[in-house]
Structure 1
């Protein structure tokens, strides 16, 4: 088993000191009460703070699993303070300058808590021996830089019965000067594997201090005052008690001008497999620097100002597999690194851009699997540069100032699975088909921050038949070539974050293996239907930090046009990354906006459709109605057209100067008589009185002067047109006669158009005689209108009034002069 402390230790520190970074957080919830300010960063952690906050805010609730109480004025933590936080897995009580006590029972309900940090609380002088009762799931405990003067101020609380799962104790920056023999006595039989004293003021550790920790695997006394003889005694006791210690960290341990040969000899005879000597000053590693160390398989010499490793300098490490030389001062791979057994070599950050070109050969390194050359000044990679690495699986060339990659430079790396070429300013001509020839097993390729605007040819990835992840983030790409997707049939992850992509209108991910698409931090203002259809086929998608305009047409309508199954899947994917609207009136995520505005947008869409289609529908309906009416009443329409022409002609006549006498020659008859047969006797007398006496009028009377032809309307209209006026004899029998009503309407309608601009009748061509009283309920609206607006004479049965009647009638019918 390889204990890579460069990976393990930072991870443990991260678990013990932080819940997560604020970077990238897009939404937070604030809460203020009793001087305590609490804030939740959604999906990350929650924190309560403020120096005026003197009591823990038990009322604050959060759904996140990491909680911090930091920078407060709380003096005491009491039982029940964390009752609302029983679900959390990480708790940080840090930087509380007034904190003095944590009472037993404070943590008793935190059954799920895995990481606890009580650090940087200067007035916290001790911990009660029962304070950790109930932390059955606790894995990592950090007690850094508090007010403890002795280890026993807190070690009596370190009991296996309270914390049976505890594996890591971080005691960095302690003010204690000694670690006594029984300080960890209560941890006998525990699962503790890791103890870190980094940066503490300890100058002595009792050799028997760790003999009860039978599972101890990793020990760090970096940057402490412990001296070489003390460490030797500790290691000898550990070996004697058969404790299988595997990693020893001596970072910043004071090796400046001399090499601790005696200590190295002791280490060589222990079970230690990983030796960490970071930030010591070795300058040059000679052949006699290290004694025989048969068990060491991992040697870490980072930031040690090494300029060279002489040939055979590491010959005493026959089983060395991992060598970390990060941030030294070498200008190339030294001869002493050429070790047949070496599998991992990290020699990153040695040369700077202004330095000479970093040189390297890989003779006798056929076992190398991981090579990190990042942040060196390499500039060029030729055909034979990477010769001799047939088993290499991972190669990191990030920010190596490469300006030239010759064709077939990687052709011998047929086992390579991971290649990072990020942050190199390659010219566009670098991207040709042969660039990646030979990389038939490559699964991960990073071209991040390479200032790529486009690929001159889409076949540059054609040889990457096993590629699963392509990282193109932080470039200048505007579009995703469709052929690019087709050429990489096995690609599952495509990272295009922070580019200049435009929304695509045609689908790109049809029949591809892509499952994870990252398109965050692009100038997308909306998601097209094609994009949504592509997203619906994915398992993971990140569209966060795009300037989305949450509007009905640009967001809800494209989503709503899909099937319910696809909509639910898309909303689930979008909800994972909390993609927010940039609209000033809302801070909702896309999903929240969709769900809260779907109904409103649906109504608005219907209204918008109706607003555009209603006029068309109305016009269509009217057109159909007009067509139907025109066909079925075509004869009547011809009649109305005739009336219109007639009225137009007469209106023109009325506008002429009235300086002439109406000429009778224009008409054959002075009036046409319309009557009911039941009033025939009165009509005979009427005709006699009007035609036999001055002014000798001529009347058109049905039966005497004309007969009804086949077309009733045409017949009546023809005889009415030959008569200057129309005379209606109105009685109850006339009103109840359908024929008379029709005859009256035809006779009069062609005269109704004769009105002036004020709607007033301009002629008296219709004259009516009323015989007796008439029932009002029988009179049609048309007849009522005519009786009110035209000349109406009442027949009087009394003889003395009849002369006046006939005089009025003759005056109404006689031709008269126009003024």
Structure 2
């Protein structure tokens, strides 16, 4: 055993050393900084400058948590680099053409620096292979973008003022918009500009991207006050726009700009955390045939009325989490005929409203309802623990019998305190196509026999964190497709149950940790012929005198840590022999001759 322990310690030492190299942000700060080459990657931490000559044949550079404050063109000269990341540095200035000597660069991340300048696309000239550009968390703005370039009156290709990079044009074109003459980043698809104080977005700010296939644009938390009419016009391909947390933007400005979005491609729109008091119905109406995803998380809706949404025939995904919703009027979602994904988590709902039971839904989330944010925040600050089971909710939640939802595949009630404290036989009878159900931390105390018998296609069931006892053999009857069953953090002792899993022939993963199990009976795991993982840690199991795992011939892993095991019987040895992985750590074994056979 001593040699095994030494080997394990050596493995952890080697693993720790590897993690420090792979994730340099975890390495201790060094006075002079450090750069390491691992394969084709250059990883730098706490440096003030890059190596004078970049190593050959590297394709990835990551500089993080350093004091690098300026990038010069001569610092970055490599034909092989494809990914460049400068995250959490103090870069305040990019010199013109800083990236021009990286012809094969595909991904550039400059997030969380201190770059304070107008957004000049000339900085990214000649990056013809770049597909992803991340400039989040800097100090970019666009107040004088229309004056980006100053043309010189000459017929030859010219160089603009020293503040900008070289942009070729001719005197014959001098009457055209200067930004219109510049075309950059012809392969750019993902553009992240969040957390920069843009304030305004002029109409010509994206003109140099007119030939770019940008599909995703992130402008979260940009203090936006004004967006020109034609701002989006050059972005002919974009599908996702994130305008989260721009509370200063007025709804009429938002309306005008949504109406001017490209209506030829499917659109995903994030308007979360914008202090909206009602769903912007008129503003969304122009996107009837193109809006497929709408995120309204963290706004201030109390009621979703019958006429809240315009006709949105293309809408598939709707997120209304954390909006303070207490009532959803009947027919409120009737104008969304193709809605498939609906998230109503962390609202003030006290029941499943009829308006929510849409026959088109395949995913429904109702976690943490009814949710009292102020109460939870107070208890986090002043409570006597961190257990969210102790948080106050406004009331309990009533779950009716689900009907006419034959397409639903996933249903979640996590952290929602179900009023009846019981799962009844008919509660989910109308969900015959359900594949996944989350009922964890719902204050459940009992489950009726055959309560899940209609769910013959259910594959994942989470009942953890409740107060359940499994007291009969019919609780999981007919769940013939179930592959994962989570029952940890309950009060299960199997009192009154002999073989509760006998019909679960497809089960692969069973979690029973943190229960009140003291004995394992001979037929307890009967029927689990395909089980691969069994977790029994944190119970009160002492030993067993007859083999209990005979039916689980495919069992790979058994976890019995933190029980009350004091000895290893012949029956236990028989069961352990079929395993590839066994964890019996943190048990109060008596180290005497009775453990001889186990050590052998």
TM-score (norm 1): 0.53
Distance 1:129 1:223 in 2: 28
SS at match of 2:286: coil
Q: How has the CA–CA distance of structure 1 residues 471 and 67 changed in structure 2, closer, same or farther, with 3 Å as cutoff?
A: farther
Q: How has the CA–CA distance of structure 1 residues 458 and 141 changed in structure 2, closer, same or farther, with 3 Å as cutoff?
A: farther
SS at match of 2:227: helix
Q: In the alignment, is residue 94 of structure 1 matched against residue 64 of structure 2?
A: yes
SS at match of 2:499: helix
Q: In the alignment, is residue 254 of structure 1 matched against residue 247 of structure 2?
A: yes
Aligned residues: 518
Equivalent residue for 1:271? 265
Distance 1:556 1:158 in 2: 74
Distance 2:585 2:42 in 1: 28
Distance 2:55 2:586 in 1: 36
Q: How has the CA–CA distance of structure 1 residues 534 and 121 changed in structure 2, closer, same or farther, with 3 Å as cutoff?
A: farther
Q: In the alignment, is residue 486 of structure 1 matched against residue 450 of structure 2?
A: no
Is the contact between residue 148 and residue 154 of structure 1 (CA under 8 Å) also seen in structure 2? no
Is the contact between residue 486 and residue 512 of structure 2 (CA under 8 Å) also seen in structure 1? yes
Is the contact between residue 285 and residue 308 of structure 1 (CA under 8 Å) also seen in structure 2? no
Equivalent residue for 1:366? 359
Q: In the alignment, is residue 76 of structure 1 matched against residue 70 of structure 2?
A: no
Q: How has the CA–CA distance of structure 1 residues 268 and 542 changed in structure 2, closer, same or farther, with 3 Å as cutoff?
A: farther
Q: How has the CA–CA distance of structure 1 residues 554 and 542 changed in structure 2, closer, same or farther, with 3 Å as cutoff?
A: closer
Question: Alpha-carbon deviations, 1:738-782, whole Å to 9, x = none?
Answer: xxxxxxxxxxxxxxxxxxxxxxxxxxxxxxxxxxxxxxxxxxxxx
Distance 1:549 1:342 in 2: 51
Is the contact between residue 363 and residue 388 of structure 1 (CA under 8 Å) also seen in structure 2? no
Greater RCO structure (CA 8 Å; 6+ sep)? 2
Equivalent residue for 1:685? none
Q: In the alignment, is residue 284 of structure 1 matched against residue 278 of structure 2?
A: yes
1:169 equivalent among 110, 133, 136: 133
Is the contact between residue 402 and residue 426 of structure 1 (CA under 8 Å) also seen in structure 2? yes
Q: In the alignment, is residue 318 of structure 1 matched against residue 336 of structure 2?
A: no
Q: In the alignment, is residue 121 of structure 1 matched against residue 89 of structure 2?
A: yes
Is the contact between residue 35 and residue 43 of structure 2 (CA under 8 Å) also seen in structure 1? no
Distance 2:96 2:587 in 1: 53
Equivalent residue for 2:471? 456
Q: How has the CA–CA distance of structure 1 residues 263 and 458 changed in structure 2, closer, same or farther, with 3 Å as cutoff?
A: same
SS at match of 1:275: strand
Equivalent residue for 2:412? 396
Distance 1:526 1:234 in 2: 70
Equivalent residue for 2:8? none
2:198 equivalent among 182, 202, 224: 202
Question: Alpha-carbon deviations, 1:338-376, whole Å to 9, x = none?
Answer: 33322111111111xxxx724511378221211111111
Distance 2:13 2:362 in 1: 47
Q: Could you tell me how far 1:199 is from its partner in structure 2?
A: 1.0
Distance 1:536 1:108 in 2: 56
Question: Alpha-carbon deviations, 1:622-667, whole Å to 9, x = none?
Answer: xxxxxxxxxxxxxxxxxxxxxxxxxxxxxxxxxxxxxxxxxxxxxx
Distance 1:508 1:472 in 2: 15
> RMSD over aligned Cα, in angstroms?
4.9
Distance 1:141 1:365 in 2: 43
SS at match of 2:234: helix
Distance 1:337 1:290 in 2: 14
Distance 1:210 1:520 in 2: 60
Is the contact between residue 76 and residue 103 of structure 1 (CA under 8 Å) also seen in structure 2? no
Is the contact between residue 168 and residue 194 of structure 1 (CA under 8 Å) also seen in structure 2? yes
Question: Alpha-carbon deviations, 1:176-222, whole Å to 9, x = none?
Answer: 2137649995522x2x3211111112244634445255321111112
In the TM superposition, 1:671-690 aligns within 5 A as none
Q: In the alignment, is residue 328 of structure 1 matched against residue 323 of structure 2?
A: yes
Distance 2:135 2:267 in 1: 23
Distance 1:153 1:556 in 2: 75
Equivalent residue for 2:189? 193
Q: Could you tell me how far 1:460 is from its partner in structure 2?
A: 1.1
Equivalent residue for 1:345? 342
Distance 1:347 1:519 in 2: 32
Stretch moving more, 74-83 or 221-230: 74-83
Equivalent residue for 2:431? 413
Q: How has the CA–CA distance of structure 1 residues 187 and 57 changed in structure 2, closer, same or farther, with 3 Å as cutoff?
A: closer
TM-score (norm 2): 0.70
Distance 2:106 2:500 in 1: 46
In the TM superposition, 1:426-437 aligns within 5 A as 426-428=444-446, 431-437=447-453
Equivalent residue for 2:4? none
1:234 equivalent among 210, 228, 231: 231
Question: Alpha-carbon deviations, 1:446-470, whole Å to 9, x = none?
Answer: 1121132x31212111032322221
2:396 equivalent among 379, 382, 385: 379
Q: Could you tell me how far 1:399 is from its partner in structure 2?
A: 1.4
Question: Alpha-carbon deviations, 1:265-299, whole Å to 9, x = none?
Answer: 21373524211111112212375453332211211
Q: Could you tell me how far 1:117 is from its partner in structure 2?
A: 3.6
Q: In the alignment, is residue 56 of structure 1 matched against residue 34 of structure 2?
A: yes
Is the contact between residue 211 and residue 237 of structure 1 (CA under 8 Å) also seen in structure 2? yes
SS at match of 2:261: helix
Equivalent residue for 2:5? none
Is the contact between residue 381 and residue 406 of structure 1 (CA under 8 Å) also seen in structure 2? no
Distance 2:233 2:487 in 1: 52
Is the contact between residue 94 and residue 123 of structure 2 (CA under 8 Å) also seen in structure 1? no
Equivalent residue for 2:113? 146
SS at match of 2:500: helix
Structure 2 unpaired stretches of 5+? 1-10, 149-178, 371-394
Structure 1 unpaired stretches of 5+? 1-26, 32-37, 585-600, 610-819
Q: In the alignment, is residue 442 of structure 1 matched against residue 482 of structure 2?
A: no
Distance 1:139 1:501 in 2: 55
In the TM superposition, 1:589-600 aligns within 5 A as none
Distance 1:413 1:423 in 2: 21
